[in-house]
Amino acid sequence: MKTGFCIKTIKYQLRCSHAEWFVSTEGYYRDVLNFYYHLLLHRKELWNLNTFQMQRELECLTIEGRDGRKPVYPLPFSKVPLYFRRSAINKAIGCLKSHLGLSRSADKTEEYDSLLPETIDASLTYFKGMYREFTDTGITLKVWDGSSWHWMECRLKGIPFPANAMVLSPSVVPGSKICWLHVPVKQETTDARNAKERMKSGDNICSVQFTNTDIFAMCCVMDGNGKQLAVRTCRGGDAYRHQCRRLLDKIEFSRQYTDKDNVEQPNKKYYIHLKNLSEYYAHKVSREIVDFGVENKVKVIVLPLYHADFSRMVQYRTGNFTPLHLSSRIRTYLKYKAWEAGMIVLEHSADHTSSRCAICGGTVKKQGSQYLCENGHQGSRFLNSARNLGRKCQEDFRKKRGCSD
Ligand SMILES: [Zn+2]
């Protein structure tokens, strides 16, 4: 079977004796990074080279050669270690390329300048040579104290490295209280077939309906012939709504005391709670859906897609901090979690999925969270929509994309 890979970032708390050195190291890094970035902005003839060629050209322009060749733009900093510089050059190139890519796809013209940022505020990515003794409990990092380099031992707090994962270059992200080490890990996925191949071989699919009730997501697993194999309701919507409302009440209540304070955002801690709460539930629900899919040998997850106008109207009516509002975050998390577990996420038009009966195709009436079909069928209307969505997706693949043979 075809295999692929996915990269995810694991965050570790960094404990060390001189956290302030990370701030000076990052400052120094940004100086070098922006020096190279500005050089790149002036040298448009380099823009179409690949990353490796660009890196070589930038080094030739700024570093003295072994043969004594003088650089045209000598690097105006002393004591820049090789892999510190390489990391900065790489990031400068990466930023430029990603901005060029964005502006190109936006309107296909050659007008880049207006969209390019003037400076880049990036965190330091540690290339090999800048760190050693790296495990999931500790790392020794090369840090700049403002005048010289030191090796500093740090302890790490976080989850163990996943088995069979390749650990890539970590980045240090200094915070106001806690410093973080972001560690990208690369894992192989067991199944890299595309959606068409999966649908064609009749793999199990799981269709999902998001709701604004206690049920965050109604999931329905079907085999390749549309036969229902399992159903799961991911709950917690009411608890989420309730906890959010309590925080929003606190914000509202504190407003009368803090409105005239000369502080940027006096209720910041409540907003941070809200954000954490949303992340927590979005992770929990997306994890539950993925685990349910794995249990039932699902290869494709199908999510409903709505017209932009309809989505806007629904969002407006349901409001922020509601179960349905959280569904956009759940979708985002689902996509990478599913891929890690060998599943693909498809978004398929939800047109007519809630107006017909999944059993007989008759028209249906809504009654709260139930549906009633003209031929007497009834049950959960969310499950009815999920079933219809799954079958519609299967039919669509059979008809339009030649998966019928
Ligand atoms: Zn019916």
Domain positions in the chain: 4-188, 195-400
pLDDT attached to residue 405: 45
C-alpha 378 – ligand 1 centre gap (Å) = 7
How far apart are the C-alpha atoms of 343 and 341, rounded to whole Å? 6
Q: How far is the CA of 353 from the centre of ligand 1 (A)?
A: 13
356 CA → ligand 1 middle, Å: 8
Protein residues near ligand 1, an ion, with CB under 5 A: 357, 359-360, 362, 373, 375, 377
Per-residue model confidence (pLDDT) at position 256: 74
C-alpha distance from residue 148 to each of 124, 151, 394 (Å) = 17, 10, 63
User: What is the pLDDT at residue 298?
Assistant: 95
Residue owning tokens 């019928």 = 404
pTM for the model stands at 0.66
State residue 110's pLDDT score: 54
Ligand 1 centroid–CA 76 distance in Å is 76
> Could you tell me the distance, in angstroms and rounded to a whole number, from the CA of residue 223 to the centre of ligand 1?
21
Q: How far apart are CA 308 and CA 34, in angstroms?
A: 39
**Residues 361, 313: Cα–Cα separation, whole Å:** 27
pLDDT score recorded for residue 70 = 83
How far apart, in Å, are the Cα atoms of 197 and each of 18, 200, 206, 298, 398?
Answer: 53, 5, 16, 14, 12
Query: For the chain, which ranges sit under pLDDT 70?
Result: 1-3, 102-115, 190, 258-266, 401-405
How far does the centroid of ligand 1 lie from the alpha carbon of residue 363, in Å? 7
Say how many Å lie between the CA of residue 202 and the centre of ligand 1: 25
Ligand 1 centroid–CA 354 distance in Å is: 12
Please give the Cα distance from 307 to 149 (Å, whole number). 56
CA distance 36 to 14: 29
Residue 180 has what pLDDT? 94
CATH topology of domain 195-400: Nucleotidyltransferase; domain 5 (3.30.420)
Angstrom distance (rounded) from CA 55 to CA 89 = 7
Compute, in angstroms, the gap from residue 366 CA to the centroid of ligand 1.
13
Query: Residue 79: which H helix or E strand, with range?
Result: none
Taking only the tens place, the pLDDT of each residue in 337-385 is 998 888 999 999 999 999 999 999 999 999 989 999 999 999 999 999 9
How many whole angstroms from 355 Cα to the centroid of ligand 1? 11
The span from the CA of 56 to the CA of 36, in Å, is: 12
Give 302-328 pLDDT, tens digit per residue: 999 988 887 788 777 888 899 999 999
- Any bridge partners for residue 66, and if so which? none
Q: How far is the CA of 391 from the centre of ligand 1 (A)?
A: 15
pLDDT at 255: 77
